Amino acid sequence: MEWVAALGLISISLTAQESNQVEQLRLQIKQLQENFEKQQQVQRQQIDALMRRIDVLNGTNASSLKVGSNATTAPNVLEWTERPWWSINPLRIGDHHASMDIGLNASFAAGGSTANDLSTLQSGGHDPSRGGFNMQVLELTLNGNVDHFFRASASLHLPLSGSVETEEAYIESLSLPGGLQLRAGQFITEFGRQNPQHLHNWSFVDSPLVSQRMFGADGMRGLGARVSWLVPTPFYSELFLTVQNDEGETMHSFRKQLDTGKTLFGRSLDYTSPSKSLNQLAYTPRYAAAFDLTDTQTLLLGVSAALGNNSSGPSTRSRIYGGDLTWKWKPANHSGGYPFVQWQTEGLYREYEAGAVSGLNAETLKDYGIYSQISYGFTKGWVAGLRWDYVDRTDMATSLGGTNSYDDAERARRWRLSPNLTWDLSENSKLRLQYNYDQRAGLGADHTVWLQFVFSLGAHHAHSF
């Protein structure tokens, strides 16, 4: 009987060991699944923003991927299984048949300035523009695949007061042949590097001066369509053509709508375009190309233009031309993307045909501007930045006589130097300290300091190259 009992104990022991091994294997599988899901989500966010552009963060050819398609050969067995929440997981409603990712982006800034006209000094729509505390943006984002053919995206601004503003709401194709992609709806114009970026992706507290002068407080965006073609070259190369309505508050250099009593360049902008629809559109072509200079350096070059009518006369037009350059270095042995150095420069030139009004003759006003910024991620989570801005006009307006009070100040020379220090607390939050030294023609120097806090919850636009 003793040997029977011994065999029983051995059997129970072996069963327990097998059970423990199975449990350990299950725990290992669960951990691997969670790690895989985390990495998959990181890549999905990068693909959303870097799709059809060069991906220099992980060496992935993101331009050949499409959101909604299988980016890897591994089966996507984790997407709809229950899993613990992680900081970059999207907030999702729906199931695998139909779902929508929800995100929330917010930016707050506090500070002060020696300027008496801080709202004029900080003229960007999302720039902090008052001493004390500012809410720069509170943005709700919605993203998801409509079906196998389209994905949809929307960005809604939630102001402290007033109605909700639709910044973007568009659909985008997923499966057009020949490297083509179509976008339609309300969206930010694909011009240069700064204009398409959302605020939480900015490297500085405020927008560049030249962007404010050429595109207005809220940047250039509108209703329309965009077609892009990924050119079949050995390097990343893409052509864009955007066609949008040329009217509204976000079409500053074109048919901008002004409040009663307001003027732009001394004109009230009362004229409307002819009824022909082709005369009510702004056209924005862009070409971008990226090259790997070495294993650790990448160069991105782009040229853009925006062409359309303005409302200062019966047949007056506006033309904006731009060029941009972005260079990034990141060593092969980087840790979490650090250290790195990124240099970005963008220059714009505008020709604005101004119509004749009382006291002002018809003429073409020519303006230009540039910004150059460098960011140095010197250790994980810490980035030092420096930006230089400059805007000016080629000549004063030639006729400033009569009863018109226009003094050409809207085109006056100014420049700004902005050092800052950013602490990326996590993937979803950052704290930034910035100082601005402003020099405005006829007004002298002003000093401004801002402390900014930015956070994102759920799905959000990933940081671009």
Per-residue tokens: 137: 């943006």
Is the CA virtual torsion 291, 293, 296, 300 positive or negative? negative
CB 288 within 8 A of CB 270: no
pLDDT of residue 220: 97
Tell me which amino acid residue 146 is: V
Architecture of the domain defined by 106-135+174-458: Beta Barrel (2.40)
Looking at per-residue confidence, does 229 or 397 come out higher? 229
What SS3 class is residue 424? strand
Contacts of 175 (CB under 8 A, 6+ apart): 66, 148, 149
* Range with lowest mean pLDDT among 2-11, 137-146, 426-435, 448-457: 2-11
> In the chain, what percentage of residues exceed pLDDT 70?
74
Is residue 57 pLDDT above 50, yes or no? no
Q: Which DSSP symbol is given to 279?
A: G
Strands (E), 41-88: none
| Residue 334 or residue 259, greater confidence | 334
Closest CA relative to residue 461, chosen from 133, 203, 197 = 197
Pair of tokens at residue 111 = 């500070």
118 phi, psi to nearest 5 deg = -60, -35
Q: How confident is the model at residue 15 (pLDDT cuts 50, 70, 90)?
A: low
Q: 2 or 78: which carries more pLDDT confidence?
A: 2
| pLDDT tens per residue, range 398-421 | 655 444 445 677 888 999 999 999
Nearest Cα neighbor of 288 from 62, 46, 53, 462 is 53
Peptide bond into 339 cis (omega under 30): yes
- Over range 68-90, report the average pLDDT: 41
Q: pTM above 0.75? A: yes
Q: Is 60 exceeded by the pLDDT of residue 16?
A: no
* CA-closest candidate to residue 358, choices 403, 406, 405: 403
pLDDT > 90: what percent of the chain?
Answer: 58
Q: DSSP states of 286-312 as a string?
A: EEEEEEESSSSEEEEEEEEEEEEE-SS
State CA 423 to chain mean position distance. 20
Interval 210-247: pLDDT, tens: 999 999 999 999 999 999 999 999 999 999 999 999 98
pLDDT in tens, 308-320: 999 888 889 999 9
Q: Is the pLDDT of residue 297 over 70?
A: yes
Question: Cβ(311)–Cβ(256) under 8 Å?
Answer: yes
What is the predicted pLDDT for the residue at 33?
66
To which residue do tokens 């051995």 refer?
A: 10
pLDDT digits (tens, 9 = 90+) for 345-364: 999 999 999 988 877 788 89
pLDDT average, residue stretch 52-76: 38
Q: What is the mean pLDDT of the chain?
A: 82
Cα separations (Å) of 21 from 8, 17, 27, 373, 375?
A: 20, 6, 10, 56, 50
Which residues, at least 6 apart from 232, have a Cβ–Cβ distance to it below 8 Å?
179
Pairing between strand 429-440 and 91-94? unpaired
Largest CA distance in the chain: 121
pLDDT band at 116 (very low <50, low <70, confident <90, very high): very high
